[in-house]
C-alpha cells in the first residue's frame, strides 16, 4: 500500500523562500519581472543580450567602454571550443536529443578547461564567460554535424545572437531573425529560483565547480514541465494543423484532463510579462509565409485555453509564444530548449557566483512516511 502523503508539506517547495537574491524581482500576482530593478519591457526593447549578462553578473549596466571590453573578451577568449570537444561531438550518437548532447558537451568543455577547478571569483567569472560564449558554438556545431555539414567557425565581429545564427547556417543572418533571437535571449536570461537555477545553486552550495552546476541545470531545464515545454508547444501546433481545429483541440485536451503545454506557472497567476512581449512579436509574424499559419493556430489555442483556465490562474507562460518566435527565426524544433539554455546560462552562472559569495550548504529534509520498523526477512522465507 502506498504511504500517505504529508498534508503539511509544501509539495514541490511551492511558496518556500530559500535564499536572498539581488538578480530578479518577480511579482507573480501583478505580472512583473525586473532584472536588478530594471523592467523586462525596457530591456527587451533596448538591450543586447551581452548587456543583460553584464547587468546580471556585475549588478549594473555597463558603460560603452565596459560593454566593448566585455564583448571583445567574449569573442577573443571563448567562442572557439577546443578541437577535442569538436571531435567528440562529431562522434556523439546521431539521433540523440540536442539537450542530451548539450548537457554532455558542456561537461566535456569543463574537462578541457585547465581552470575548471580553480575556485577564485576571477576564475569563476572566466568560466561563466567561457560557458556563455561556448554554448552557442556547441549548439550550432551539433546542428551542422547531424546534418552532414562542416561546422562554421565563430565570427570575430558579430554580436552574440547574430554570431549564433551565422554558425548555424553559414550565412549572414537577417536582421529580423537576429532581433527575435536577441529579444528571446534577453527575456529568458534569469527568473529567480526556477527549478534549473535552484539545481545550479544546490550544486554550487556543495563547493562543486561551475561546470558541474551548469551541467546539472541543463539536465533540469530539459524536462517538459520546465524548459522542454517550448518544443512540446510547437509539436502541439503541428498536431492541430490549422486554426479552425484549434478550439476543438483545446476542449478535447482539457476534457481528457491533460495539460496544455506552455500554460501555467508556479509563480505567475496572471499573464507572464515575457509572454505578453513574445505574443506581440508572434502577432507581427502573422503575415510571414511558413510561420503565419502557426501563429494563427497559437493565438486561437491561447484564447480558447485562457477562456477555460484563467479563472484558475493558468495563463500562457513564456514557453508558449517562444515556440512560433523561435520557429520564425529558423531554429529546428528540437533545438528550442538548447536556445533556452543559451539564454539562461546568464542567470545560472550569476546565481552560482551569488551563492559562492555567501555560501551555505543547501540541504533540506524529507519527512519519512514509510514503516517505522520491520524485521529483516531471510531470502528463503520471503513470499
CA dihedral 76, 78, 80, 86 (to 10 degrees): 160
Closer residue to ligand ACO in complex, CB, 11/91:
11
Exactly one of 160, 226, 296, 351 is catalytic; name it. 226
Closer residue to ligand ACO in complex, CB, 6/359:
6
Residue 160: active-site member: no
Residue 319: active-site member: yes
In angstroms, give the least distance from the CB of 262 to ligand ACO: 5
Closer residue to ligand ACO in complex, CB, 129/194:
194
- Buried b / exposed e across 39-77, counting CB within 10 Å, b at 16+? ebbebbeebbbbbbbbbbbeeebbeeeeeeebbeebbee
Half-sphere exposure of residue 59: CA atoms within 13 angstroms, side-chain side: 4
Q: In what order do the strands lie in the sheet with 38-39?
A: 24-27, 32-35, 38-39
In angstroms, give the least distance from the CB of 313 to ligand ACO: 8
In angstroms, give the least distance from the CB of 43 to ligand ACO: 17
Closer residue to ligand ACO in complex, CB, 12/170:
12
Q: Which residues bind ligand ACO (CB under 6 A)?
A: 12, 194, 225-227, 229, 259-266, 309, 312, 314, 317-319
Cell of 355: 551563492
Q: Look at residues 125, 266, 261, 106 and name the one whose alpha carbon lies nearest to residue 193.
A: 266
In angstroms, give the least distance from the CB of 58 to ligand ACO: 25
Residue 112: active-site member: no
Q: Which residues pair with 98 in a beta bridge?
A: none
C-alpha to C-alpha distance for 133 and 158, rounded to whole angstroms: 12
**Residue 363 φ then ψ, to 5°:** -150, 85
In angstroms, give the least distance from the CB of 61 to ligand ACO: 25
**Closest CB to ligand ACO belongs to which residue?**
264
User: Which helix (H) or strand (E) element contains residue 330?
Assistant: none
Exactly one of 265, 272, 296, 351 is catalytic; name it. 265
Closer residue to ligand ACO in complex, CB, 103/265:
265
Point out the residues that are catalytic.
226, 265, 319
Amino acid at each position: 500500500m502506498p504511504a500517505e502523503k504529508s498534508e503539511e508539506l509544501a509539495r514541490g517547495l511551492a511558496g518556500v523562500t530559500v535564499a536572498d537574491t539581488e538578480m530578479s524581482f518577480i511579482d507573480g500576482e501583478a505580472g512583473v519581472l525586473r532584472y536588478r530593478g530594471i523592467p523586462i519591457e525596457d530591456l527587451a526593447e533596448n538591450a543586447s543580450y551581452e548587456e543583460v549578462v553584464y547587468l546580471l553578473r556585475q549588478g549594473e549596466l555597463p558603460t560603452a567602454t565596459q560593454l566593448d571590453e566585455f564583448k571583445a573578451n567574449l569573442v577573443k577568449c571563448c567562442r572557439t571550443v577546443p578541437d577535442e570537444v569538436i571531435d567528440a561531438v562529431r562522434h556523439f550518437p546521431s539521433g540523440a536529443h540536442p539537450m542530451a548532447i548539450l548537457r554532455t558537451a558542456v561537461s566535456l568543455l569543463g574537462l578541457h578547461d585547465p581552470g575548471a577547478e580553480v575556485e577564485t571569483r576571477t576564475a569563476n567569472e572566466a568560466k561563466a564567460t567561457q560557458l556563455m560564449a561556448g554554448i552557442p558554438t556547441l549548439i550550432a556545431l551539433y546542428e551542422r554535424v547531424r546534418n552532414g555539414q562542416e561546422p562554421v567557425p565563430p565570427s570575430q565581429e558579430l554580436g552574440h545572437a547574430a554570431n549564433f545564427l551565422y554558425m548555424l547556417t553559414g550565412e549572414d543572418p537577417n536582421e529580423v531573425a537576429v532581433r527575435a533571437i536577441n529579444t528571446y535571449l534577453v527575456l529568458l536570461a534569469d527568473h529567480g529560483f526556477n527549478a534549473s537555477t535552484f539545481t545550479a545553486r544546490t550544486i554550487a552550495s556543495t563547493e562543486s565547480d561551475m561546470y558541474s552546476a551548469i551541467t546539472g541545470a541543463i539536465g533540469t531545464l530539459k524536462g517538459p514541465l520546465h524548459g522542454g515545454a517550448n518544443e512540446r508547444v510547437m509539436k502541439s501546433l503541428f498536431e492541430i494543423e490549422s486554426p479552425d481545429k484549434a478550439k476543438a483541440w483545446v476542449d478535447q485536451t482539457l476534457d481528457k484532463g491533460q495539460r496544455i503545454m506552455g500554460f501555467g506557472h508556479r509563480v505567475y497567476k496572471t499573464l507572464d510579462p515575457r509572454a505578453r512581449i513574445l505574443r506581440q512579436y508572434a502577432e507581427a509574424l502573422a503575415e510571414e509565409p511558413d510561420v503565419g499559419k502557426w501563429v494563427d493556430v497559437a493565438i486561437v489555442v491561447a484564447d480558447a485555453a485562457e477562456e477555460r483556465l484563467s479563472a484558475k490562474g493558468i495563463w500562457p507562460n513564456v514557453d508558449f509564444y517562444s515556440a512560433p518566435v523561435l520557429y520564425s527565426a529558423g531554429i529546428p524544433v528540437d533545438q528550442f530548449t538548447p536556445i533556452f539554455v543559451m539564454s539562461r546560462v546568464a542567470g545560472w552562472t550569476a546565481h552560482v557566483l551569488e551563492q559562492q559569495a555567501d555560501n551555505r550548504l543547501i540541504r533540506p529534509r524529507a519527512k519519512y512516511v514509510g514503516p517505522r520498523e520491520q524485521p529483516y526477512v531471510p531470502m528463503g522465507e520471503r513470499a
